[in-house]
Amino acid sequence: MKALITGGAGFIGAHLANQLHQRGHYVRVLDDLSSGDPAALLPGINFNRGDVRDIPKLWSLLQGVDVVYHLAARVSVPASILYPREYNDVNVGGTVSLLEACRDVSVKRVILASSATVYGDQRAQPVNETMSTQPAAPYAVSKVAAEQYLFTLGALCGFETVALRIFNAYGPGQPLPPAHAPVIPQFMQQVAGSGSVMIFGDGAQTRDFVYIDDVVEALISAAQVDGVDRQLINVGSGVEISLNALVEAMATIVGNKANVLYNRTVSGGIARLVADVSKARQLLGYTPSTQLVTGLRKLIEQDPLFQQVKRKQPRAGADQTSAVRTRLNLGNRPQ
Residues with catalytic annotation? 139
Closest to 235 (Cα-Cα) out of 284, 190, 188: 284
260 contacts: CB under 8 Å, gap ≥ 6: 196, 197, 199, 203, 244, 247
Inter-residue contact 117 to 207 (CB < 8 Å): no
* Cβ atoms of residues 332 and 269 within 8 Å: no
Report yes or no: 240 and 274 within 8 Å, Cβ to Cβ. Answer: yes
Q: How far apart are CA 28 and CA 24, in angstroms?
A: 13
Whether the bond into 43 is cis, omega within 30 of 0 = no
State the amino acid at position 97 in one-letter form.
S
With H, G, I as helix, E, B as strand and everything else as coil, classify residue 197. Answer: strand
* Farthest CA pair distance, the chain: 57
List C-alpha distances in Å: 83 to 90, 181, 198: 11, 17, 24
- Give the three-state DSSP class for 43: coil
